Structure 1
Amino acid sequence: MHVVQDGPRQAPPLLLIHGSGVAGISWQAMIPALAARHHVIRVDLPGCGHSPPADSYEVTDQARRLADLLDDLGISSATVVGHSSGGYAATALAERRPDLVGRIVLISTGPSVDALLPQPAVLRVLLAPPFGPLLWPRRSDAMIRKGISATAARPVEISDAAVAELRRTTYRTFRRIIRANTAYLRQQAVPERLAGLGIPLLVVFGGADPRWDPQSARSYTAVPGSRIEMLPGVGHVPLWEAPDATAALVLEAAGGPTAVR
């Protein structure tokens, strides 16, 4: 996997995992605040950004790759932050190697399949047959920006560099990633997976998320000691819509009490 590291290497580590079809650059607006206090590790998951495609996009395989990365970097425990479906990889990492996960922060991570809302029209056209396979390779920069903006409740500024990164993911890879994430979620809801792990959890949700029912965030109360923060007037991408507020919540969570196992 392509990896970018920011901040002092001796500082407490933060692992940032992006959502489906995007890349590590999606965290860019939060990096200055996070890297001032942490060793920040951003990945491009396989098939996204600068990382080549993989044979498997199963969430458990993503977790294995992330565990191998932390082992290779010599990191024994990190605060793991996942945006959207990146939260499934974070959860699977905690299931596979709880020793590596000191805290978890889930941002806009749908807890169960029944929490998914009817998707914005532009996404339905871009992402699903019959038009998706035809339009995806021909996406203009404006179309990519429109697709991201459709998931936001506030105006967002998407850099040329971010657009270029998003363009690297092929339609076939994206569909395989979506299928793998859906299978993971259908197998067991995220709160149920985390409930017995004893790892401190912060859930951040936009109060105007158009992809996942914001009220579904309350299902995470099934995780003992969990904390839920709603961002009013924010949609599915707090990383772009409210980066300062989101970074502040991540920093607060990362500095909180560690798990007692």
Structure 2
Amino acid sequence: MSGYVEQAHGMHVVHDGAREAPPLLLVHGSGASGDTWGPMLPALTDRRHVVRVDLPGCGQSPPAPSYDVPVQAARVAEMLDGLGLCHVAAAGHSSGGYVITALAEQRPDLVGSLTLISTGPSPDALLPQPAVLRALLGPPLGPLLWSVRSNAWIRKGIRATTARPVDIPDEMVAGAGSITYRAFRKIASRNTAYLAERSVPERLAALDVPTLVIFGAADPRWEPSSAHQYDTVPGTRVELLPGVGHVPLLEAPEATSELLLDFTAADADTPPVLP
């Protein structure tokens, strides 16, 4: 079944591809929605049952009392349990990588592999942010610009994180424009707290899960060389995409999809558990 939509545990969930195919969970980053993955869907849905979520407060999901990363991961776990899915290949873009890492920490039975795309490994890897993002995300301009919900400003913000010219789908803009400034600030602060408590490589080292790390070699948000902090984690493969910024999903969807499908091919041998 393709394009099936449901609400599950306070989250908007979209299924693409054949339900009998091996499951692939896709989790977006801060201020985005499941529509972020749109450019990759043609390649992924040929071989996977793709499950895209809008995290609480994002896209078409309602706000939540808490945006703590472990709390968001617990909601995703409840959603997977409700669908009868386990041992899924999980991919997260940017801070979505924190959510799926927390998911693996809490429920290793649900996760067969992790793919972290542009997921900053530690606080010291964060670069000075582009001026457009600083204006959008911080006071005093941030709340004003956010209240206007200008599609032009949203497109400028997305383009500020890329390293090559891109066409930004309208669905991606709409998804990014749905979150409130207040919710975004809360989500960002909880992501920062999760990362400050313990780096992602440290967290992964305590787990036993195959991990793929994809980074743009020209990422303007995180120091690209910091991707190699993940080299210390046994069983982790690191791939840098030349000339790509923070959004490989948009800048290099074919190459990103190929890496993801190749890495998760072993998971495809494990049949999904359906309700």
- Equivalent in the alignment of 1:79: 89
1:104 alignment partner in structure 2: 114
TM (normalized to structure 1)? 0.97
Within 2, Cα distance between the matches of 1:243 and 1:122?
Answer: 24
2:198 counterpart residue number: 188
**2:17 matches 1:7:** yes
Moved over 4 A (4+): none
Tell me, yes or no, if the aligned pair for 2:125 and 2:223 is still in contact at 8 Å: yes
Secondary structure at 1:52's aligned position in 2? coil
Superposition TM-score, scaled by structure 2 size: 0.92
Take 2:55 and 2:188, find their aligned partners in 1: how far apart are those partners? 13
- Farther off after superposition, 204-213 or 220-229: 220-229
Aligned match of 2:101 = 91
Aligned CA-pair RMSD: 1.0
Matched, 1:204 2:201: no
Distance (Å, rounded) in 1 between the aligned partners of 2:20 and 2:267:
19
Instruction: Find the aligned partners of 2:202 and 2:73 in 1 and give their Cα distance.
Output: 18
> Match for residue 40 of structure 1?
50
Identity across matched positions, percent: 64
Q: Distance in 2 between matches of 1:111 and 1:149?
A: 22
Q: 1:179 aligns with which of 189, 195, 210?
A: 189
Q: Is 1:60 aligned to 2:40, yes or no?
A: no
Please state whether the residue corresponding to 2:66 is helix, strand or coil: coil
Q: What is the CA-CA distance between 1:231 and the residue it aligns to?
A: 0.1
Structure 2 counterpart of 1:149, from 159, 164, 176: 159
CA drift of 1:257 comes to: 6.7
Contiguous gaps of at least 5 residues in structure 2: 1-10, 269-275
Matched, 1:159 2:143: no
The secondary structure found in structure 2 opposite 1:26 is helix
Do the aligned partners of residues 257 and 66 (structure 1) sit closer, same or farther apart at CA in structure 2, a change above 3 Å counting? closer
Distance in 2 between residues matched to 1:135 and 1:201, nearest whole Å: 38
Does structure 1 conserve the Cα–Cα contact (< 8 Å) formed by 2:210 and 2:236? yes
**What is the one-letter code of the residue matched to 2:91?**
V
Please, which of 221, 224, 249 is the counterpart of residue 214 of structure 1? 224
Distance 2:267 2:28 in 1: 25
44, 60, 69: which one aligns with 2:79: 69
The Cα offsets for residues 204-236 of structure 1, whole Å up to 9 and x where unpaired, read as 000000000000000001210110000000000
Q: Which runs of 5+ in 1 are unaligned?
A: none
Which one of the candidate residues 123, 131, 137 is aligned to 1:127?
A: 137
Q: Partner letter of residue 179 of structure 1?
A: S
Rounded Cα–Cα distance in structure 2 between residues aligned with 1:6 and 1:164: 19
> How many matched pairs?
258
Residue 60 (structure 2) aligns with: 50
Secondary structure in 2 aligned to 1:54?
Answer: coil
